[in-house]
A and B are shown apart, each in its own frame.
Chain A
Amino acid sequence: MKAFLVLEDGTLFSGEGFGAAGKHIGEVVFNTSMTGYQEVISDPSYCSQIITMTYPLIGNYGINDADMESTTTHLGGLIVHRLAEMPNNWRAKTGLSEFLADRGVIGLQGIDTRALAKKLRQRGTMMGIIAAGSYKATDLLEEVRTADAKPHPSPVYRVTTLAPYTLHGSGYHVAVVDFGVKQNIIRSLMAHGCKVTVFPAATSAAEVLGCQPDGVLLSNGPGDPKKVTGAVTTIRELLGRVPIFGICLGHQLLGLAMGGDTYKLPYGHRGANHPVKDLQTGRVYITSQNHGYALVPDSLRGNDVEITHVNLNDGTVEGIKNRFVPAFSVQYHPEAWPGPEDSRYLFDSFMGLIRQSKH
């Protein structure tokens, strides 16, 4: 099956399709992780995006039951240089192509993914159309160009849980506001013995506090934080009433709630090798990241917020905390999966914060 990617600037990549046939318009992004494609494609934060893996051999160890970051996939398409024809791993249940086909996700392989990544780096993230089947490139270009530019509602509402649910544990009770939560955040909390109640993104502060949580975790999720309007109000109301830990989108939302501003990065951070410096200790951690927006440092210079972590490469804000109330957040993924586990300790910190606030 022939397949294509056409970028809004007219660049055409043609290769071979895998996964599902069809077409999809979405933001084209690249991820530099060399392992962890299963976690990537099942991470709700990639909702509707077309992901290019820069590592050229993908699918090598197949797909297993355990490494899912959500029960289904939300991505719009996957682009790889070479899909493994003979995946092999003791946990593998199926191959990547079959997996994507089952979920209606379009795959494209056999293109110069490095050229594509370079283009995205130079031009910034672009919209594109991925299509597998008998399509004509010119039609596709027309389609991506005329794709309506009117503002969409945040994709958060497509990936959040429809109703609250609780997972039992004997430790602290943590309310997770689900903006597209990765399963491993929940697993990490449960590994700390927590009881976890997951709320939809649009939940009010009152409702969250209604379950009498010991702490609130603001999850990761897709898209522009500013479009998740209700959440900012909710967080503002939660601040000071319960310890808060924000991750990724949750971090941006916490920043917004504390008066900060966000902006869109030219091509985002997506990968497993981003060095982040803890400004308090001077220590550097290698982190797992997936975000297209970031907090504007200057917008945080107010009295309440302290920037705790920065990206060693480009100086972007990677962590903040409130000076007065127990609330902190990081732009990266301390839960890992995919990516390094260096920052797992942040869950301990969160537990510590909860413990402290009880005194």
Chain B
Amino acid sequence: MPIKKDLRKVLVIGSGPIIIGQAAEFDYAGTQACKALREEGLEVILVNSNPATIMTDKDTADRTYIEPLTPEFLARIIALEKPDGLVATLGGQVGLNLAMELAASGVLGEHGVELLGTPLTAIKKAEDRDLFKKTMEELNEPIPESCIVEKLEEAISFAEQLGYPLIVRPAYTLGGTGGGVVSNRQELVETVARGLKHSLINQVLVERSVAGWKEIEYEVIRDVADNCITVCNMENIDPVGIHTGDSIVVAPSQTLSDREHQMLRTASLKIIRALGIEGGCNIQFALDPASFQYYVIEVNPRVSRSSALASKATGYPIAKVAAKIAVGYTLDEIKNSVTGKTFACFEPALDYVVVKIPRFPFDKFASADRSLGTQMKATGEVMAIGRTLEAALLKAIRSLEIGVDSLFYPGLADLPADLLEAKLKTKDDMRLFVIAEAMRRGLAIERVAELTALDKFFLGKIANIIKMEEKLQRAGQHLSIELIQEAKTMGFADSRIAAITALPEGHIKELRISHGIKPVFKMVDTCAAEFEAATPYYYSAYDQEDETMVPSGRKIIVLGSGPIRIGQGIEFDYCSVHSVLALREAGIQAVIVNNNPETVSTDFDTGDRLYFEPLTAEDVIHVLEKENPEGVIVQFGGQTAINLAKPLADAGVPILGTSVENIDRAEDREKFDQLLQELGIPRPPGQTVLTMEEAVAAAQRIGYPVLVRPSYVLGGRAMEIVYSQEELVSYMTAAARISPNHPVLVDKYFKGKEIEVDAISDGEEILIPGIMEHIERAGIHSGDSTAVYPAQSLSPALVAQVVEYTEKLAKALRVKGLINIQFVVFEDQVFVLEVNPRSSRTVPYMSKITGIPVVKLATRVILGQRLREAGYGVGLSPAPPLVSVKAPVFSFGKLVQVDTSLGPEMKSTGEVMGVGTTLASALYKGLVAAGCRVPAKGNILATIADKDKKEALPLLKGFYDLGFRILATAGTAAALAHAGIPAETVNKIREGSPHMVDVIRAGRVHLVVNTMTKGRAPERDGFQIRRAAVEHGIPCLTSLDTVAMLIEVMTSLQEGHDLEVFSVQQYLPH
């Protein structure tokens, strides 16, 4: 059937900020969908609050609203745009929930908006546990015995009937928020209470646990004519019990016989038909490893993280096909864009193995509970493709960028034997390395299987890797060519072979090159070579035939940014994609190397060619040798790509843009200090110290407070501000491992205004799209603070100073491309905090709000164009009439035991943008888009550290004046009383119940203001309060600057102002 009649304008809802459970996959899906819809001549209206996405580029849709994803804002946009249809299944759970709310509240009906694709009834049948259960029962598809409860007592009585273990799962949440396996009554009570709180419909499901079974997923597509296909199935190496988002996953399934596979496939088709889905869905099964018994665990009636993975794993563009189906096409009418000859109505055949490994944020959160369960914790993932499972696994590990190149994790070698077995049982993010370590020590596979419930097939593959390590070890210096060949085929990195054999890495490389041991590149073609395909999508393998087709002409490689993690998010994928687009516009072949399956950059038609590879020097060099490009661009792929500049340059590869020497001058502390001195640009005084004594002396000299920054910390980085010698000593002994090899930087902490600048430089001149000012003062990581553009409070003199410093630095570093600088203004003096000779987190945001295509300009400059000729002028660009803010978004709800207080170490996972005519309205939008429920009245719980009391009092008074009631701990209450502000005193935890946490639990608090006293140990009151707030979804502010901002917003809200919505096309010039 061709496109639906009378359909002209379609609304697409995006998924908002990156949070755990909802990452870049929806940018990929949404972008693909927008393209697919516009191909049909439809006018596309897009709404998404996340500026760091390709989908919110002004060319992706006809009109783009970067506005909060709430029913209120959506209703405004719908009233304004009056679209004919709405595609709700491409924006993750957020988009889906929003569409359902809009349908339920009658907004869609009122404006005659048709829900396209999967109908509401189908969504409800899949999403509402009760309806889902009923549907499955009618189909005779087994689901675990369960009971939907709305009250705690119901859960308890159900448990009494069925026994334990049980699993508690709330309805309508993301990433399993608030669920978990419980094995006794106490755990049941806690988990059910939390789950009820997190569920949007106040329901939780209590069900029989099938932890330990095989977890298998199917990606299924159905069209309106009832044609159904399964795009691919995926097997979780981690059995049921660990969220699929946190599981190591292989595609296709490995341990299922055809009988088992077809049984589940047939069930999948039956289910998608019964639900009546028109588009894609994901079905998760638990399969008994010892019988044909299975359960249906979940159906996601939309594109998902798994469908993005399946698309990348097979080459089948699920989101695109789902979009075409939504507007009326059937599968047999949609072309397979990979072969160009066959149709979308087929099931891809793979002739390789795909391994996905999640990336966890525990390096940032030393205190977090690392154990894995039904609640997702990973922020991102990597995917690797190989011709063997071992090779794909090792490639995936290298792609993770966690400092290891194999299954060997240094610290584990010291683990006592008894602890090792215990660690095998409690599964955390280290499990793969723990298993490898156990095997290295000779633990039998059977025993490992018993302890971990992993399938012996997979353990056997790990054992192969360990056996190869042993062979290499035995060979040592007498390493033979045959053994190198074997190890390479298995996926070993040169560095790993070198480490085991104690031979230099360069030697291994020379040896193998001289014997022609190099990988070939194979194509991902959806059909296992059955049809001719010319997909420019490749992976490396130590196999025989190379299939790359590298046309002649100019070509340049753009390095991607790998997995999404805190500190390096989707922004860098955005930048890589833009660089690729700029190259293509310039008529140059753009080649991408990346390993993140969620992203737009790894869509096979983003660049001219895509290599799905780990971003290590060795792996990238192989691509380079194949492509022989004129150079590599490293400045858009975040720190990942920048870190490869030196090794690649050493290997003789031209690095385009800012030179490696100058990158080093910006990144090396000593060289950078020297540069600043030469330029006469001040930075906060500081010193590098090697011993505790030196640290104490340095801090004394510089004066407290100081910011300490150890170069090596167990389990991650940990920058901290310390206010006294006592704090310094205790912090250094607890967290930092100071030694001559691991120096610590001690800097003067300036609690001043933080300013951030991104600039493009051609080496002679610069263009500054704009200057951003942070709401929170320095000391809160730039990624976690609210960035306002244009800066509102800077004097012209300050602005001139910032511009001058930026110019000087860019020139001195001979920056060609982008530079990002953070400044702090302290007592009217501007200091440089940091210079990043690369694109930054704020580049997409600045591009969106100024309309200056920052990355494209930078790329053109790298190619040799002068800024002056680029058409956007030089110097500081004039500011537009609107005000915008970039607000951080956190995923604390998913990370148990993580302190939510903000500091110099970044904690946010994503960001949103708010645009308004006034600062207050922009801030309000930013807050709302970030998920903060801004209370209009109610109770505020305040516990303020002594050092902050003076500053806090006027703020608390502000709340009081706005009509809030203030609850405070004794000290704060006393200070308030002294200032004439009435407050209700609540107990600290140690003072006994009812204490602060009780008050939060009781639902009496609508906002928490808490500033840190020293130490972050979980047992402290502050920590407990902050966690309680997170777990109850109450905004908790830890910076008084944020509090001040909020008061301003609330005041203007009370005065009442119009929250107009703006499309990007409307506020961007041309």
Residues of A within 8 A of B (CB): 30, 32-36, 38-39, 54-57, 60-61, 64, 66-67, 81-82, 84-91, 111-115, 117-118, 121, 271-275, 277, 282-284, 286, 312-313, 336-342
Contact = CB atoms under 8 A, between A and B. Distances in A.
9 contacts: A30-B529, A35-B253, A35-B261, A55-B349, A81-B387, A115-B543, A283-B227, A339-B262, A341-B265
A38 B262 CA distance: 14
Contacts of B461: 86
Contacts, number: 165
Given A86-B457, A283-B227, A54 B529 contact: yes
Nearest to B545: A115
A89 to B, nearest CB: 6
Nearest to A82: B388
A302 to B, nearest CB: 27
Contacts of B545: 112, 114-115, 118
A54 B544 contact: no
Interface in B301-353: 330-332, 341-343, 345-353
B252 interface: yes
Contacts of A88: 255, 455-457, 460
Given A54-B529, A273-B349, A34 B252 contact: yes
Given A114-B529, A312-B345, A338 B255 contact: no
B225 interface: yes
A57 B389 contact: yes
Given A67-B257, A118-B545, A336-B262, 16 more contacts: A36-B258, A54-B351, A54-B530, A56-B351, A56-B353, A57-B353, A61-B256, A67-B258, A84-B457, A84-B460, A90-B289, A111-B544, A115-B545, A272-B258, A282-B330, A284-B331
B488 to A, nearest CB: 14
Contacts of A56: 351-353, 387-388
Contacts of B463: 86
A307 B529 CA distance: 28
Given A283-B225, A313-B346, A340 B262 contact: yes
Given A81-B387, A82-B387, A312-B345, A275 B332 contact: yes
A89 B342 contact: no
B460 A85 contact: yes
Contacts of B266: 340-341
Does more than half of chain B's interface fall in helix, strand or loop, or is it mixed? loop
B829 interface: no
A14 to B, nearest CB: 10
B1007 interface: no
Given A82-B387, A88-B456, A88-B460, A35 B351 contact: no
A313 B544 contact: no
A89 B332 contact: no
Contacts of A286: 229, 346-347
Contact of B349 (A81, A115, A271, A342): A271
A112 B332 contact: no
B388 A118 contact: no
Interface residues of B, number: 58
B528 interface: yes
Interface in B940-994: none
Contacts of B532: 121
B291 A90 contact: yes
Contacts of A113: 351
B254 A57 contact: yes
Contacts of B445: 86
Contact of A55 (B226, B229, B351, B464): B351
Contacts of A272: 258, 347, 349
Given A90-B289, A112-B545, A274 B456 contact: no
Contact of B456 (A66, A86, A337): A86
B457 A87 contact: yes
A296 to B, nearest CB: 21
Contacts of A91: 257
B290 interface: yes
A81 B528 CA distance: 13
Contacts of B457: 60-61, 84, 86-88
Contacts of A82: 387-388
A341 B265 CA distance: 9
B271 interface: no
B259 interface: yes
Q: Which of B262, B346, B455, B528 has the most CB of A within 10 A?
A: B528
What 5 A-B pairs have minimum CB-CB distances, sorted nearest first?
Answer: A86-B460, A36-B258, A115-B545, A112-B544, A54-B528
Nearest to A338: B258
A277 B343 CA distance: 12
Interface string B341-383: 1110111111111000000000000000000000000000000
B1013 to A, nearest CB: 54
B522 interface: yes
B543 A114 contact: yes
Contacts of A275: 229, 332, 343, 345-346
Interface in B536-560: 543-545, 547
A6 to B, nearest CB: 15
B530 A312 contact: no
Nearest to A34: B252
A38 B256 CA distance: 12
